[in-house]
């Protein structure tokens, strides 16, 4: 029973493909809307190695096909402790989203950079600096 469920799940995953809207494959693609967020960690999600603790911050990025669109791209969240930085990336066909985040040692600001590339060429880049206030 379990073996057949694993086979079905792996078959479904193998059949899943990412389709890129034709508008994003053109050289005159519309402007992308990039949203980043930095928020304090209040709960631990299940992780095998590193545990998230209060005092850490979760940074995320969402790239909308165009402002107000429901089609989105993104990466895995980055969880940072004071003074840390990290980078993740995700590929979606010819598109790639690179996301970098850095949290200051004093936890007074966080910086993020989201870069969207098509076939290795930058089509959009956004850098943000968020001022953090401890309570």
Q: Which long-range contacts (CB under 8 A, 24 or more apart) does 23-26 make?
A: 23/65, 23/66, 24/65, 24/95, 24/118, 25/94, 25/118
Encode the chain (135 residues) as per-residue pLDDT tens digits: 333 333 333 333 344 455 666 655 555 566 677 888 888 876 555 555 567 778 899 999 998 877 676 778 888 999 999 999 999 999 988 889 999 999 999 999 999 999 999 888 999 999 999 999 876
Four-point Cα dihedral 36, 40, 45, 47, nearest 10:
90
Where exactly are the structural domains of the chain?
22-131
């Amino acid at each position: 029973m379990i073996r057949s469920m694993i086979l079905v799940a792996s078959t479904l995953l193998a059949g899943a493909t990412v389709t890129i809207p034709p508008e994003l494959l053109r050289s005159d693609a519309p402007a992308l809307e990039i949203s980043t967020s930095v928020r304090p960690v209040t709960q631990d999600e299940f992780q095998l190695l590193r545990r998230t603790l209060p005092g850490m911050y979760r940074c995320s990025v969402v790239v909308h096909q165009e402002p107000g669109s429901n089609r989105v791209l993104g990466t895995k969240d980055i969880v940072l402790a004071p003074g840390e930085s990290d980078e993740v990336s995700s590929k979606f066909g010819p598109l790639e989203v690179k996301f970098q985040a850095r949290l200051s040692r004093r936890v007074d600001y966080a910086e993020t950079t989201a870069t969207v590339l098509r076939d290795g060429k930058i089509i959009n880049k956004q850098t943000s600096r968020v001022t953090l206030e401890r309570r």
